Structure 1
Amino acid sequence: MKIKEAKVIVCSPGRNFVTLKIVTNEGVYGVGDATLNGREKAVVSYLEDYLCPALIGRDPQRIEDIWQFFYRGAYWRRGPVGMTAIAAIDTALWDIKAKLANMPLYQLLGGRSRDRIMVYSHANGATLEDTLEEVARHVEMGYKAVRVQCGIPGIGSTYGVAKGGKTYEPADADLPTEACWSTEKYLNYVPQLFEEMRKQFGDDLHILHDVHHRLTPIEAARLGKAVEPYHLFWLEDCVPAENQEAWKLIRQHTTTPLAVGEVFNSIHDCRELIQHQLIDYIRSTIVHAGGITQLRRIADLAALYHVRTGFHGATDLSPICMGAALHFDFWVPNFGIQEHMAHSEQMLEVFPHAFEFEKGYFTPGETPGHGVDIDEKLAAKYPYKRACLPVNRLEDGTLWNW
Structure 2
Amino acid sequence: MKITEARVILSSPGRNFATLKITTDTGLTGLGDATLNGREKAVVAYLEEHVIPWLLGQDAERIEHVWQSLYKGAYWRRGPVTMTAIAAVDMALWDIKAKQAGLPLYQLLGGASRTGVTVYGHANGKSIDDCLSEVENYVAMGYQAVRLQCAIPGLDKAYGVAKGKLYYEPAERGLPPMETWSTPEYLDFIPELFAQARKQFGPHLKLLHDVHHRLTPQEAAALGKSLEPFRLGWLEDPTPADNPESFRLIRQHTTTPIATGEVLNHLQDFRVLVSEQLIDYVRTSVQRCGGLTHMRQIALFADAFQVRTGCHGATDLSPVTMGVALHFGLWVPNFGLQEYMRHNEETDAMFPHAYTFADGMLHPGEAPGHGVELDESMASEYPYQAASLPVAQLRDGTAWSW
Give the TM-score band, short-chain normalised. Answer: over 0.9
Aligned-partner SS, 2:311: coil
1-side partners of 2:99 and 2:166: how far apart?
Answer: 38
Secondary structure of residue in 2 paired with 1:45: helix
Name the counterpart of 1:46. Answer: 46
Distance in 2 (alpha carbons) for counterparts of 1:167 and 1:76:
36
Residue in 2 that maps onto 1:109: 109
Q: Which residue of 2 aligns with 1:163?
A: 163
Structure 2: how far apart are the matches of 1:306 and 1:164?
38
What is the aligned residue count?
A: 402
How far did residue 168 of structure 1 move? 2.0
1:344-363 Cα deviation digits (max 9, x unpaired): 11101110100000121111
TM alignment of 1:4-15, pairs within 5 A: 4-15=4-15
What is the Cα deviation at residue 165 of structure 1?
A: 5.5
Question: Residues of 2 paired with 1:31 and 1:87: CA distance?
Answer: 11
Deviation at 1:218, TM superposition (A): 0.4
- What's the counterpart of residue 29 of structure 1? 29
TM-score by length of 1: 0.99
Distance 1:2 1:361 in 2: 37
Alpha-carbon separation, structure 2, partners of 1:222 and 1:34? 38
Where does residue 201 of structure 2 map in the other structure?
A: 201
Name the structure 1 match of 2:83. Answer: 83
Q: Distance in 1 between matches of 2:144 and 2:291?
A: 28
Q: CA deviation at 1:66?
A: 0.4
How many Å separate the matches in 2 of 1:265 and 1:253?
27
Paired residue secondary structure (2:172): coil
- The sequence identity of aligned pairs, in percent, is 61
AA at the equivalent of 2:139: V
Q: Runs in 1 of length 4+ with deviation above 4 angstroms?
A: none
Is residue 7–residue 20 contact of structure 2 (8 Å, CA) maintained in 1? yes
Rounded to whole Å, the distance in 2 between the matches of 1:204 and 1:277 is 25
Deviation at 1:166, TM superposition (A): 7.8
Aligned-pair CA distance for 1:326? 0.1
1:112-153 Cα shifts (integer Å, max 9, x gaps): 100111100100001111111111111111111000001110
What residue is the counterpart of 2:302 in the other structure? 302
Q: Deviations over 1:41-70 (max 9, x none)?
A: 000000011101100001000000000111
Give the 3-state SS of the residue equivalent to 2:336 in structure 1: coil
Alignment deviations for residues 318-363 of structure 1 (CA, whole Å, 9 cap, x no partner):
0000000000000000000100000111101110100000121111
Displacement of 1:172 in angstroms is: 1.6
Distance 1:164 1:35 in 2: 23
SS in 2 for 1:270: helix
User: Match of 1:246, as an amino acid?
Assistant: S
User: In the TM superposition, what are the counterparts of 1:3-402 in structure 2 within 5 Å?
Assistant: 3-163=3-163, 167-402=167-402
Structure 1 unaligned runs (5+)? Answer: none
Question: In 2, Cα distance between the equivalents of 1:363 and 1:39?
Answer: 30
Shift of 1:281: 0.2
Superposition deviation, residue 265 in structure 1:
1.2
1:186-217 deviation digits (Å, cap 9, x = unpaired): 00000000000011111111000000000000
Inter-partner Cα distance in structure 1 for 2:168 and 2:339: 15
Offset of residue 167 of structure 1: 3.0
Distance in 2, Cα, partners of 1:259 & 1:312: 10
Aligned-partner Cα distance in 1 for 2:335–2:297: 14
Alpha-carbon displacement from aligned partner over 1:285-319 (angstroms, at most 9, x marks no partner): 11110000000000010000000000000000000
Q: Please report the RMSD computed on the Cα atoms of aligned residues, expressed in angstroms.
A: 0.8
SS in 2 for 1:310: strand
Distance in 2 between residues matched to 1:260 and 1:109, nearest whole Å? 25
Question: What amino acid is the match of 2:152?
Answer: I
Give the partner amino acid of 1:271.
Answer: R
* Structure 2, gaps ≥5 residues long: none
Partner Cα distance (1:241, 1:351) in 2 = 32
Name the CA distance, whole Å, in 2 between partners of 1:305 and 1:330.
20
C-alpha distance in 2, partners of 1:388/1:100?
39
> What is the CA distance between 1:268 and its match in structure 2?
1.2
Q: 1:22 and 1:37 mapped to 2: Cα distance?
A: 22
CA contact (8 A) 2:217 2:247 kept: yes
Separation in structure 1 between the aligned mates of residue 166 and residue 59 of structure 2, nearest angstrom: 45
Change over 3 Å in CA distance of 1:216–1:20 after alignment to 2 = same
Contact 2:208 2:232 in 1 (8 A): yes
| 2:141 counterpart letter in structure 1 | M
Q: Name the TM-score, length of structure 2 as normaliser.
A: 0.99
**Separation (CA, whole Å) in 2 of partners of 1:277 and 1:22:** 39
Code of the residue aligned with 1:154 in structure 2: it is G
